Structure formats: C-alpha cells, structure tokens
Amino acid sequence: MAAVIFLAGAVWSFLEIADEVMEGESRSIDTLILLSLRNPDDLSDPLGPPWLEETMRDFTALGGVAVLTLLTLFSVVYLFIRRQSVQALFIVITVVTATILNNLLKWGFDRPRPDLVPHGSIVYTASFPSGHALTSATVYLTIGALLASAHRENAIKLYLIGVAVLLAVLVGVSRVYLGVHWPTDVLAGWMAGGAWALLLWLAARWRTGGPGSRF
C-alpha cells in the first residue's frame, strides 16, 4: 500500500510541476535558486572553491549515458552469470523504457535550457525533465531494489535503497549547480524516474507472485 501511495504521489507531483512550468509560474523560483548558486559579480563562476565545481562534474557524470550504460551492462552480465535471467531482463526493460520515456517527455515539453548562466557541462537536448535525474533515479533505484531484495536484514535493505537515493540526488543537484537545468527540471526528473522504477517493480512483483515473491 505504501508503494502505491508513493507512486500516486510521484505522478501527481510530476503533473503539478509540469503544469507550473508550462504556465510559467515556476520561472521566478527557478531563477532565484539558479542565481543563488552563482557569484553575483560573475555569473560564470559557481559558488564555492574550484574543487567543488570539479566534484559536481564528477557527480553529474554518475548520471551520464556512458556511466549508466556501463553500470546496466555490468549488472545484467552479473545476473546472467548467476542464472537470474528474469532480473537481468527486468533491468534491461526498465532502463530502455525509461530512456524512451525521457525522450518523449523532452520532445513533448520542449523547454529551453537555462540562459541565465553559462553552462558547466555540454548539453544537446531540451531541458524538461532532466534526463540525468530521470534515468539515474530509475537505474540506481532499480539496482538498489534488486540488491535489497536479496537480503533479509532491514538495515541492509535501508542502506542499499538509501545509497541509491543519495546517488540520484547528487546527480540532480549537480545539474542545477552547473547551470544546465532549472531546479524544476530536476524535481520532475526525480519524480518521473522514481515513479517509473516503482511502477515496473510493482508490475514485476505482481507478475512473478506478488509481495511474497523473491523477485
């Protein structure tokens, strides 16, 4: 029941954010947050020492196509070696469909990237929702949930899910810090990615035997 409530809340939140973005109501808060992360005397200079900016680039790479593709590939191969082909196929389906969902949403909303500050990372696509936030949330939460399902101890389960959430959060925050996304892009990406991962997880659990299954 809690999972269903979270899923409904995430979908509702995404729709609310999307509505505010399309109506332009989020522009003021987006602008305020983005500019608050910059040196007011030089908008090309993010707040903090140089090492912080480099750290944020490292964090943003955790949600990049190359890193997530390698992580997905390694996870799938590992599961096939362990003869867990169902779980391996689940990861592939989740990641591929999340990528398609991300591209469709970007195409549908077609929101321009922030133009207030110089970008700290090269970008190619539309801004809403954040693809890094969406896909990293989907991939890390899916892998975290699969790992957690292999353990009985609640402390280990919470730790693994917590790490997955933290990684997704760091990726999203880095996108705003580097000026390549509006904050609402990232929030929407987190909601969409989390909802998609949870939806497919619930569907898989139902398909393979319900809450008591060892999927």
Over residues 44-87, the pLDDT tens digits come to 889 999 999 999 999 999 999 999 999 999 999 999 999 989 99
Residue 180 structure tokens: 């390549």
Q: Does the residue 173 lie in any domain?
A: yes
- The model carries a pTM of 0.91
For residue 183, how many other CB atoms are within 10 A of its CB? 22
Q: Does the residue 42 lie in any domain?
A: no
Q: Does the residue 44 lie in any domain?
A: no
Q: Does the residue 27 lie in any domain?
A: no
Q: Does the residue 149 lie in any domain?
A: yes
Residue 60 lies in domain: 2-21+50-207
Is the CB of residue 145 less than 8 Å from the CB of residue 198? no
User: Residue 199 above 50 pLDDT?
Assistant: yes
Q: Which residue has the higher pLDDT, 1 or 25?
A: 25
Instruction: Please pick, among 181, 182, 188, 204, the residue that the annotation labels catalytic.
Output: 181
Give me the amino acid identity at 82: R
Q: Does the residue 70 lie in any domain?
A: yes
Q: Which residue shows structure tokens 């659990």? A: 205
How far apart CA 204 and CA 191 sit, in angstroms, is 20
- What is the average per-residue pLDDT within 188-193? 97
| Total domains present in the chain | 1
For residue 6, how many other CB atoms are within 10 A of its CB? 13
- What is the average per-residue pLDDT within 141-162? 92
Active site residue 181: yes
| pLDDT category of residue 209 using cuts at 50, 70 and 90 | low
Instruction: Please pick, among 38, 106, 111, 132, the residue that the annotation labels catalytic.
Output: 132
Residue 6 structure tokens: 């979270």
pLDDT at 144: 93
Q: Does the residue 37 lie in any domain?
A: no
For residue 92, how many other CB atoms are within 10 A of its CB? 15
- What is the average per-residue pLDDT within 151-164? 93
Active site residue 151: no
Q: Does the residue 134 lie in any domain?
A: yes
